[in-house]
Amino acid sequence: MSTDRSFTAALVQMRTGLLPEPSLAQGTRLIREAAAQGAQYVQTPEVSNMMQLNRTALFEHLKSEAADPSLKAYRALAKELKIHLHIGSLALRFSDEKAVNRSFLIGPEGDILASYDKIHMFDIDLPGGESYRESSNYQPGETAVISDLPWGRIGLTICYDVRFPALYRALAESGASFISVPSAFTRKTGEAHWHTLLRARAIETGCFVFAAAQCGLHENKRETFGHSLIVDPWGEVLAEGGVDPGVVLARIDPSRVETARKAIPSLQHGRRFSVADPKAGPDHLHLVRGSA
C-alpha cells in the first residue's frame, strides 16, 4: 500500500478586469488548464471577480454571497473537475455601505469548505503618489480561519495579511501545514517585498505557502506585480510565475513540513514576555503574548 501523500498544487495568475463576466471567463479557462495538467488543489488570486477602484462602479456590480454568479460558477466548476478549488477572494456585498474581501475553499463536490474575510485593510500612501484606502469600501474580518484538505490543514489569509506574522504563527500553531496568500500586490511593493515576505512566512511557520497573484496593467490602470509563488517550509521557491496570466504548478510533499519543524522547532520555543520602557518607569510594562 502506497504511503505517498504528495499532491499537485496550482496557482492561477490572473489580470482581473473591471467586470465580473470576463474575469470569470479568464479564471475558468486557467483553472481548466491547471486541472488538465493534474492539479488537485488550484488557487486563484485576490479579487478574482473584479478590480474596481471607483466606489460607485464597485457597488453597482457587487452581489451578496448567496447571489454572486462567479461563486456559483466556480462551485460548479470544482464539482465538474473534482478538484479542491480555492478562490483567492471575491468582492461581495456586505451592506449598503460596505463590501467584503472574502476567500472561498471549495471541495470536489462543489461545497464550500471554508470562507475567510480579509482581516488587515490595505490603507497606504506609496512614494510617487499611489494611494489606497481599502477600509473605505471594505469591512475587515475579525476571525482567522483554518480548514482541512486531504493532505493536511490549510490556513486562509489574503494579500496585506502577509505583513502581520502573528496571524501566520497562530495558524501554524493551530495545525496548518499550508498557508494561502492570494494577492494583488502593487508592482512597487511587490518588487521590494513580495519574495522576502512569503519566504519569511514559510520559514517562520514551517508551512508551505501558496500565493496566487494578480499581474500586469489592469483596466483600472492599477499595475500588479505577478510572480505567483509556491514556497516550501524551508523557504525554497518551488515554482514562480512571471508577469502575464498563466498557471504555475508544483508537486507538494507534506512530509517536508515535519522535516523542517524538526530541524528548527521554533513553534515549540515561543515564550510569553513583557516589554519594559525605561522612559516610563518600572511600573510601565507592556505585556506581550508570545506562543505558549
Positions marked catalytic: 46, 118, 159
- Yes or no: say if 31 and 40 are a contact pair by the CB < 8 Å rule: no
Helix (H, G, I), strand (E, B) or coil at 106: strand
- Strand 7-13 versus strand 41-43 pairing type: parallel
Query: Within a 10 A sphere around the Cβ of 251, how many other Cβ atoms?
Result: 12
- CA 140, 202, 209, 246 torsion-angle sign: positive
d(CA 268, CA 217): 43
SS3 state at 135: helix
CB 101 within 8 A of CB 89: yes
How far apart (Å, rounded) are the C-alpha atoms in residues 255 and 259?
6
User: Amino acid letter at 125?
Assistant: D
Please answer whether residues 201 and 162 qualify as being in contact, where contact means their C-beta atoms are separated by less than 8 angstroms: yes
Measured at the alpha carbon of residue 210, what is the angle toward residues 263 and 67, in degrees to the nearest 5? Answer: 145
Q: What is the dihedral of CA 274, 280, 282, 285, to 10 degrees?
A: -20
- C-alpha span between 237 and 243 (Å, rounded): 17
Q: Are 290 and 270 in contact (CB under 8 A)?
A: yes
Contact status, residue 84 vs residue 107, Cβ threshold 8 Å? yes
Whole-number Å distance between alpha carbons of 119 and 100: 10
